[in-house]
Amino acid sequence: MNGNDQSKFPTVIIIGGGFGGIEVAKQLADKPVEIILIDKHNYHTFQPLLYQVATGSLECESIAFSLRKNFEGQKNLRFRNAEVTGINQATNTVHTSIGDMQYDYLVIATGSTTNFFGNKDIEHYAMPMKSIPEALNLRYLVLQNLEEANLKASKEERAPYLSFVLVGAGPTGVELAGALAELRNHVLNKDYPELVKDEMKVYLVDFLPKVLGPFSEEGSKAAEGYLKKMGVELMLGAKVENYNGEEITFGDGTSIKTKNVIWSAGVMGVVPEGVSKDAIEKGNRIRTDEICRVVGTSNIFAIGDVAAMITKDTPKGHPGVAQVAIQMGEATGKNILKLLRGEQTVPFKYNDKGSLATIGRNKAIADLGKIKFQGFFAWLIWMFVHLISLMGGRNRVVVFINWIASYVTYNGGNRIIIRKFAREELHQKDMQVSQVD
């Protein structure tokens, strides 16, 4: 029983239990359809807080939520923990690691993965942070390198272990830079009294001349100010040439010796085999029409990070953020029902609620349309929005307690290494993450 049962209702297959896929399934609850939700993980990942898992501030299980538990009681949904190996648009089939499944409607909500822009060295040696296993690998690398540094006799030998180079100054890079700076400023000497705090360096690199590219000028400037005050070294307008595991080199001929390069400089869509090549846009995204329907198809939709809805108003598609995925998911669920009823579909219109990013305690940037502010109040808003967006009451309470403990003690989290990270296994583990894990 891989999925398809005898049923008089049409089958909607959703690939991916991220923000978008979940929203489609919610919209179709109690409606005359059979839903099969497929995900290679049995949980939903709350990606905006991955960086706190990487720095050991949060347990990974607080930002993961069981997909089965989430859909308890939704009688028209079956969950399948499987890997999609491809689709066949001609026969309406999804091929998976547990067998083939037939659909009437298909929603591709597979999200995005790290884009190394074809540089194999960087892909091999730099750390991505797009999934929970990747965030855990990063945490273990950071902690192991602090342990290593602690054993070295000279400042020169310690430097590569204590240098953290973050490439990509979008929200992920900025938030991680802030968290690493706080780790240095408040925690390092408590955990490692033998280390000298100032020897730990956090570099934030971007090709653009500013941080938080998509934010307002005002927000971007404020973030730069916060980062500098916390001791993050900004390298803006800098082009990364290569990284060989020991040294990262830049376009201007400079370099930094480091064992820690974290790459959040770009993403690309995760497209299942079998999607027509004609529909693939820049960034490996799937081109759709105004109702999120994949161009050239009548019954396949793409939403969220993997979708590129290219219209007059959105010549580059939409930004790869949770709000787009959620709103596309809602619209697609509703439009599938309209198609089933023979009603007129409604074009998707993105309602941009604004952007938030935090840099550290009491410091955040809020760009909410015309209203822009920074600092303590923005930080409270950031916390509130992230808490209510988390899935599961227990997760909300546990994250809230962790944040309170961190705020009060300046020493939150529980920096433990469950499984040793071995650099030579990184590539292999990446493969597992994308293929099996």
175 is catalytic: yes
DSSP 215-251: S-HHHHHHHHHHHHHTTEEEEET--EEEE-SSEEEET
Alpha carbon 245 to its chain centroid, in Å, reads 24
Beta pairing, strands 355-360 & 307-309: unpaired
Distance CA 137, CA 171 (A): 20
Q: Smallest distance, Å, CB 414 to a copy of itself? A: 5
Judged by beta carbon, residue 244 or residue 428, the one nearer a copy of itself is: 428
Judged by beta carbon, residue 66 or residue 89, the one nearer a copy of itself is: 66
Judged by beta carbon, residue 311 or residue 409, the one nearer a copy of itself is: 409
Q: Smallest distance, Å, CB 220 to a copy of itself? A: 35
Judged by beta carbon, residue 39 or residue 305, the one nearer a copy of itself is: 39
Angle at 369 between CA 366 and CA 373, to 5 degrees: 30
Count other Cβ atoms within 10 Å, centred on residue 251: 11
Judged by beta carbon, residue 64 or residue 265, the one nearer a copy of itself is: 64
Q: Smallest distance, Å, CB 260 to a copy of itself? A: 17
Catalytic residue among 23, 123, 175, 182: 175
Judged by beta carbon, residue 380 or residue 416, the one nearer a copy of itself is: 416
DSSP 293-318: BBTT-SSEEE-GGGEEE--SS-TT--
Distance CA 387, CA 293 (A): 32
Given the rule CB under 8 A, which residues bind a copy of itself? 1-2, 41-43, 59-62, 64-66, 68-69, 72-73, 75, 78, 81, 98, 132-133, 136, 143, 147, 150-153, 190-194, 392-395, 397-398, 401-402, 405, 411-412, 414-420, 432, 436-437
- Tokens (6 digits) for 265: 């400089």
Whether 140 and 334 have beta carbons less than 8 Å apart is answered as no
Q: Smallest distance, Å, CB 422 to a copy of itself? A: 8
Judged by beta carbon, residue 94 or residue 122, the one nearer a copy of itself is: 94
- Adjacent-strand bridge partners of 263: 167
DSSP 370-436: TEEEESHHHHHHHHHHHHHHSSSHHHHHHHHHHHHHHHHHS--S----SS---GGGHHHHHHHHHHT
Gap between the terminal Cα atoms of the chain: 22
Q: Smallest distance, Å, CB 147 to a copy of itself? A: 5
Distance CA 308, CA 286 (A): 6
Distance CA 166, CA 319 (A): 21
Point out the residues that are catalytic. 175
